[in-house]
Amino acid sequence: MRRTSTRLSDGRELIYYDADPPGPERAAPRVPRPDPRPAPPPTSATTELRVDRLAGETVAYAAHRQDRTHLPPADRCPLCPATDARSEEIPERDYQVAVFENRFPSFGGGRGRCELVCFTADHERSFADLPPGRVALVLDAWTDRTAELSRLPGVRQVYCFENRGVEIGVTLHHPHGQIYAYPYLPPRTSRTVAALARHRAETGENLPDALLAEELADGRRIVAATDHWVAHVPYAARWPYEVQLRPRRRVPDLTALDPAERAEFPELYLRLLRGFDRLFGDDAPPTPYIAAWHQAPVGEPAPGEPICGRDEFALRLELLTLRRGAGKLKYLAGSESGAGAFVSDVLPEAAAERLREVTAR
């Protein structure tokens, strides 16, 4: 992998990731094209963090995001390569994978960081359309950014994710994801850390390892398994179709994956994504989904945060859709949104059976 860092006209970092050519040849280093846009005037965009003391959860306020780009036409997509006629966020005429600081961050300014990851220059592709080699390059980019962002002062977790589909809430159609370097521990991670510490204290065992052993022994919720990875529907899945993909070997984050685990990931992940698109029939529109890497916390815990060692955490990718049937969405209505209590329409065992069918093709 070759990594080339440059700056946009407003000072934001832009990084290109290029795959090494096959064989002994060495590719010429990328000489990045400068951003031809004039430097914009300074902005006063700020993020405010407040704590809900009843729930014990942090809420971020980013009012400047009200003006962010919303579903532009393809010829005005800010993530497509530059042309003679225009240049948006990426000055290059072509690229493989590009990562840059979000122009409309949910937080930043020394308190975390938000980045966009463009998986391909092709506006019409989806992640599931990528060849395995490109998926491997995206994995390299996620890993590199995890390492870099984990070292930033005040960062507590690096969260790489992709939202696909207007039903999920995407504002740009170009195939891309995001990386949030949270300056606080997100609520779900905080609850997970507390559960890991509690289970270790009560049993002397690691909770993710115990859960994986239970899934493998039961077998009904296993979707796919390889030498190094296991994909399964959780025993208490919240979403109609939800898969957790994790290495058999417990590792805290992407930087700890070994070469064999990294080599095996692309084909299996593509199987899952392509299976998701077949869930509701071959002629159904693309399935909206969220795919996200849950990684171990980094940095120093804040007062009152639960504490456990990073080696207790198990890296996992969570893939889920809120579509519960053809033309039907799982809305977060009164119970889910108001009380935080999920009521699911699909049994995990039935979801796993359907997912095995569509990922086996």
What are 196's two structure tokens?
Answer: 């890991």
Amino acid code (one letter) for 228: H
State phi, psi for 207 to the nearest 5 degrees.
-70, -50
Specify the 3-state DSSP secondary structure of 153.
coil
Q: Binding site: residue ranges?
A: 77, 80, 123, 174
Q: Binding site for Zn(2+): residue ranges?
A: 77, 80, 123, 174
Note whether 93 and 82 are within 8 A (CB). yes
What are 315's two structure tokens?
Answer: 């890296």
Amino acid code (one letter) for 119: F
Q: Would residue 199 show up in a list of annotated catalytic residues for this protein?
A: no
Strands (E), the chain: 2-7, 13-18, 48-52, 57-61, 97-101, 113-118, 157-164, 176-182, 222-225, 229-232, 241-247, 289-294, 316-321, 323-325, 328-329
Catalytic residue among 64, 173, 176, 228: 176
**Rounded CA separation 74/72 (Å):** 6
Q: Which residues are catalytic?
A: 176
